[in-house]
Amino acid sequence: MHLAVKVIAVALAAAAPLCHAQSYPTRPIRFVITYPPGGTTDFVGRPVAQKLSEILGQQVVVDNRGGAGGVIATVIVAQAPPDGYTLLLGTSSGMLINPLLNSKLPYDGFRDFTPISRTNINPQALVATPSLPANNVKELVAYARANPGKLNVASSGIGTPNHLGGEMLKYLAKIDIVHTAYKGGGPAMTDLIAGQVQLQFSSIPTVLAHVKSGRVKMLAIGSAKRSPALPDMPTIAEAGVPGYEYTTWYGVFGPKGMQKPVVAQLTGAVAKALASPDVSQRLMSQGAEPSPSSPEELTRYMREESTRWAKVIKAAGIKSE
């Protein structure tokens, strides 16, 4: 759905109960971000928080709480009063992937939170070292099948989204490529450029400069649809692996038990913030696609994502470290 149309739909759905929530907010709102300042979550969260401050008429204070792969921040919000004054910028990793990998986490992404709205979808790019004798996905699949176990796909660690992106490619394309885990995306990219590994999944902003310089080549993107940032780059699904979809996403959540009028007010405010030219253009300049939703749509989307990733994790036998 076009962003403007989606914003109107979300705003109309939220408008009816607003009269019941006129007393909210009456004080500053705490907006918890699961990683330290300067990262991609912060890049999205800060402009959204600033715009929400303008829309709601109360300060929305960003609280960066990094640590434990996002668990610390997520638990803070799960345990907060459900009054609308403590919100979380949740990520696909924190809300879905981590719970799938570790059943002992102190929270559940569905049970312990009130979904408010998705904020954005981040398509991930499949990039390769220039020496790889494949320039598109069909050639890659053919080469991998002819050379089982010869190719390596780098990731920033076991259980990370780009690890799972590679496992989904192996699962759907029925190819044998070897996962190589690094301690972070930077070292993985360094070895990809040097030709020590052949493949890696990474966010579009992270790799664009390397692609333009010729240090790596982009084969496709993982989203279901082409990215507005790279309209000429095919998706993996259309380029030869039907059903492939790998993106990361963020969304706004509150503790479970929030009142529906407050949720509706926040849903409409998030949609309005994402539709503002300064916020939407800033996000899109870095390959993050604004994607507001209703709470119900976000829940459905999360369940679809959870089902898809659970199959990949089971097939690959991935365990959290």
Q: What is the pLDDT of residue 287?
A: 81
- CA gyration radius for the chain? 20
**Residue 212 belongs to domain with CATH number:** 3.40.190.10
Residues 18-27: tens digit of each pLDDT: 444 568 999 9
Q: Are residues 192 and 57 in the same domain?
A: no
Residues 211-240: tens digit of each pLDDT: 999 999 999 999 999 988 889 999 999 999
Residues 156-185: tens digit of each pLDDT: 888 889 999 999 999 999 999 999 999 888
Domain that holds residue 154: 123-221
Task: Identify the residue whose tokens are 């479970």.
Answer: 256
Query: Does residue 298 sit in helix, strand or coil?
Result: helix
Mean pLDDT of the 251-267 span: 98
Q: Distance between CA atoms of 143 and 287, rounded to whole angstroms?
A: 29
Closest CA to 289 of 24, 44, 36: 44
Least confident of 8-12, 205-209, 245-249: 8-12
128 assigned to some structural domain? yes
Q: Are residues 91 and 151 in the same domain?
A: no
Tokens in use for 172? 């759907």
Tokens in use for 139? 């050639």
Q: Are residues 159 and 261 in the same domain?
A: no
Proportion of the chain above pLDDT 70, given as a percent: 93
Helices (H), 131-259: 137-146, 161-173, 185-194, 204-213
Q: What is the pLDDT of residue 291?
A: 95
Mean pLDDT of the 124-134 span: 96
Which of 203, 221, 239 is at the close of a domain? 221
* DSSP-derived pairing of the beta strands 113-128 and 199-203: antiparallel
Mean pLDDT of the 132-159 span: 96
Q: What is the pLDDT of residue 228?
A: 85
Q: Are residues 85 and 175 in the same domain?
A: no
Q: Are residues 111 and 7 in the same domain?
A: yes
Q: Are residues 292 and 149 in the same domain?
A: no
Which of 221, 238, 271 is at the close of a domain? 221
Indicate the pTM of the whole model. Answer: 0.86
Q: How far is CA 235 from CA 37, 168, 205, 246, in A?
A: 31, 14, 17, 10
Q: Are residues 133 and 60 in the same domain?
A: no
228 assigned to some structural domain? no
The band of 67, judged by pLDDT with boundaries at 50, 70 and 90, is confident
Q: Are residues 275 and 129 in the same domain?
A: no
